[in-house]
Chain A
Amino acid sequence: MTGIYLSGKTRLGTEEFDYIFETGTHKRISVIGPNGSGKTTLLRLIAGHECLLSGSLKIDEAIFDEPVSEFFLAPHLRELVLQHQGGSVFPHLTVEGNVAFPYRAKGYSKRNARSLASETIADFGLSELKDKYPKQLSGGQTARVSLARSLTRRPKLLLLDEPTSALDVESANQIHQILHRLDTTLLLVSHDPVEVLKLSDYIIALERNQVIQFGDLESIIQRPASPWLSKFFDLNLISGVATGLEFTSDCGERLQLPQHHSGNVQISFPSSAVSLHLSPPTGSPRNKWKTTIAGLDRKDNLVKIKLSGSFDCHATITLASFQELEIALGNTIWASVKATELNVLPNTIPAKT
């Protein structure tokens, strides 16, 4: 566990950034927000490539950056790695040279560094590529090299700036699997709600160069502080197994799929696609299940309802239909979603333990 505490301001050119949050004991943290809301600057600040103008940055109680006491820990002394968007793989070094770099940086000889890195190279499935140069690699391979290199540093904290933004689904999935297994504390900048839901349990939300909300994933999904956030998290994610056109959730609930799939999958659907009924619905929606109302949250003309039961998900309905249903916390109700609203994500990582 690596706790980050940041409260402070910085300025880049004419833009001012104001950050305040604390991550406590959480190890899977996502930084989200619209384009240009200060996500990358936040990572650069933590990594020591930008500095605070006021306030302080502490990691595990140790001061990293504090203008008042004129303290600034140089980037190479911070035991963390910032992995830039695109990976910043060294073009003049081979795959092996890149992955072994953190050992070289510590002063190991070329030969020792390479033998120390060989295990990581094998773990990442890069053994056959080890003599290639970055320009000979595909996007997915480059991302793996970059991640392998970050991990040979054995950082306490890994800062990832959109590690999968340029990757195809399968390469992104490989990266997700590796990240999922990691023991290191992760701070992930992502634009992808599915990635955030899969990989994090704590959220720092930025808008207009400020932290507008931070807290655990559940509470933010339940009470998003801005329209952008509520739109971002308007997504249910359920894991299970697909066999043909049928999906069985981990808890045994069955749903119809829009296309044929097999193996472990996750399905996602927006909360607005869920309809609620007092009695078992008849007619077109085949996907229906019995559920309990576990939470209610009203925002303007919409009510976001947390449903628990065989699987947890959210439904968003209008205030009018909510009043019509005459339901309250703890009530049992029928939920349904059209198969056409389901989005299937194959080859996913096993459910969180």
Chain B
Amino acid sequence: MMRSIHRPTPFGLLVVAALGFALLAIPFLGLAQRTPWSSFAQIATEETVLRSISLSMIIATSSACICVILGIPLGLVLAKAKFKGLKIVRAIVLLPMVLPPVAGGTALLFALGRKGFIGEKLNSWFGITLPFTTAGAIIAATFVALPFFVLSIESSATELDSKLEEASLNLGATPTRTFFMITLPMLRSSILAGVALSWARALGEFGATITFAGDNPGQTRTLPLQLFVALETNPERAMVIGMLMVVISLFVLVTLRGNWLGRR
């Protein structure tokens, strides 16, 4: 028979922990209880819903890819670089995490919107407009998701044993090769964790998207936007979409994040 040491948790702690869990779990029970399960499959496969699902997947996946490309260098610089103003840079990087997404979306609108100081040039020079396009929705999602990715990289990069990189240099690898052969593989699990987190965050993005990219069916109307619209016109559909999002997010968190973070 397996034996293991059992350290009792104080009873009071268990009670408060249970309360905390209830606060987080009960809303989902409410949703599950009102969800029209009999017509679930039918609503979930409606064309508008399917289009929103695929749009959400495209936007979240593109956004996660951009996070990987931009976030790894940014996280490494924040972890390793020493320069004046590093604190300010870090605060700006993390700002979208605490800022209401609507405020972020507004900021994006004034920078990249049709009349924004960069958006105007994009339009007049290249004929590119971001609002009401999928590209705009991807930018909005990336804006809110990137800090999660950067934070994940930064925290493990600060704990990275710099002697391994030194050893690699001494063994004749150039700094670039050292980055690809040592640094990146050592960051593997936090990159995967960051991908899961930023993907999930991008999937749930609403505020910045609707403010900056607007609500354009087939272009920017992701699952959260569809949910918001349905809430006023078709509550049953709203519940199904809500439930769909719960299931997708739970799946991502349990399988991806659990496995990859647990590897350490």
Chain A positions within 8 Å of B, measured between CB atoms, are 47-49, 74-76, 78, 80-84, 88, 90-92, 101-102, 104-106, 149-150, 153
Q: Mark B233-262, 1 if CB is under 8 A from A, else 0.
A: 000000000000000000000000000000
Q: Mark B166-185, 1 if CB is under 8 A from A, else 0.
A: 11111111110110011001
Question: Is B171 touching A84 in the complex (CB atoms < 8 A)?
Answer: no
Query: In terms of DSSP, what is the predominant structure of the interface of chain A?
Result: mixed
Question: Is B166 touching A88 in the complex (CB atoms < 8 A)?
Answer: yes
Q: How far is the CB of B196 from chain A (nearest CB, A)?
A: 20
Question: Is B177 touching A105 in the complex (CB atoms < 8 A)?
Answer: yes
Is B50 on the interface with A (CB-CB < 8 A)?
no
Query: In terms of DSSP, what is the predominant structure of the interface of chain B?
Result: helix
User: B170 touches which one: A75, A92, A104, A106 (CB < 8 A)?
Assistant: A75
**CA of A149 to CA of B164 in the docked complex: distance in angstroms?**
13
Is B93 on the interface with A (CB-CB < 8 A)?
no
Query: Considering only CB atoms and an 8 Å cut-off, how many residues of chain B contact the other chain?
Result: 20
**CA of A325 to CA of B174 in the docked complex: distance in angstroms?**
65
Q: 26 A-B pairs, CB-CB below 8 angstroms?
A: A48-B169, A74-B169, A75-B166, A75-B170, A76-B169, A76-B172, A76-B173, A76-B174, A78-B170, A81-B170, A81-B171, A88-B163, A88-B164, A88-B166, A92-B188, A101-B171, A101-B173, A105-B168, A105-B171, A105-B172, A105-B173, A105-B174, A105-B177, A105-B181, A150-B171, A153-B170
Q: Mark B79-91, 1 if CB is under 8 A from A, else 0.
A: 0000000000000
8 closest A-B pairs by CB: A105-B173, A88-B167, A75-B169, A105-B172, A76-B169, A92-B185, A102-B171, A88-B163
**CA of A83 to CA of B171 in the docked complex: distance in angstroms?**
10
Is B186 on the interface with A (CB-CB < 8 A)?
yes
Query: Across the interface, which residues of B come within 8 angstroms of A47, CB to CB?
Result: 166, 170
Query: Across the interface, which residues of B come within 8 angstroms of A153, CB to CB?
Result: 170-172
Query: Across the interface, which residues of A come within 8 angstroms of B174, CB to CB?
Result: 76, 105
**CA of A163 to CA of B182 in the docked complex: distance in angstroms?**
22
**CA of A74 to CA of B166 in the docked complex: distance in angstroms?**
11
User: A76 touches which one: B161, B163, B170, B182 (CB < 8 A)?
Assistant: B170
Q: 9 additional contacts, CB 8 Å, given A47-B170, A92-B185?
A: A49-B166, A84-B166, A88-B163, A90-B167, A92-B186, A92-B188, A102-B171, A105-B168, A105-B177
For B188, the closest partner residue in chain A by CB is A92
Question: Is A90 touching B169 in the complex (CB atoms < 8 A)?
Answer: no
User: B182 touches which one: A78, A90, A149 (CB < 8 A)?
Assistant: A90
For B162, the closest partner residue in chain A by CB is A49
Q: How far is the CB of B154 from chain A (nearest CB, A)?
A: 20
**CA of A71 to CA of B171 in the docked complex: distance in angstroms?**
21
**CA of A288 to CA of B166 in the docked complex: distance in angstroms?**
52
Query: Across the interface, which residues of A come within 8 angstroms of B182, CB to CB?
Result: 90
